Amino acid sequence: NYCYYMVDYLTFYNIKNYKIYTYAQRLLEIYFSYLSI
């Protein structure tokens, strides 16, 4: 059970990090598109 909870927590943490990463990527794209105008 403990191992299962650990894996569950790790996958949840990775998904959270991935969302933050994609959000930052989107912000960077918007920022550079503003710079190019």
Question: How many Å apart are CA 36 and CA 32, to the nearest integer?
Answer: 6
pLDDT at 26: 93
Q: Is 60 exceeded by the pLDDT of residue 36?
A: yes
Question: How many Å apart are CA 27 and CA 33, to the nearest integer?
Answer: 10
Percentages of the chain per state (helix, strand, coil), in multiples of 5: 95, 0, 5
**Per-residue model confidence as pLDDT tens digits over 6-30:** 677 778 788 888 888 889 999 999 9
Higher-confidence position of 36 and 24 = 24
What six digits make up the tokens of 14? 């990775």
What is the CB-side half-sphere exposure of residue 2 using CA atoms within 13 A?
A: 0
Domain of residue 24 covers 1-37
Q: How many domains does the chain have?
A: 1
Higher-confidence position of 1 and 7 = 7
pLDDT at 14: 82
pLDDT at 27: 92
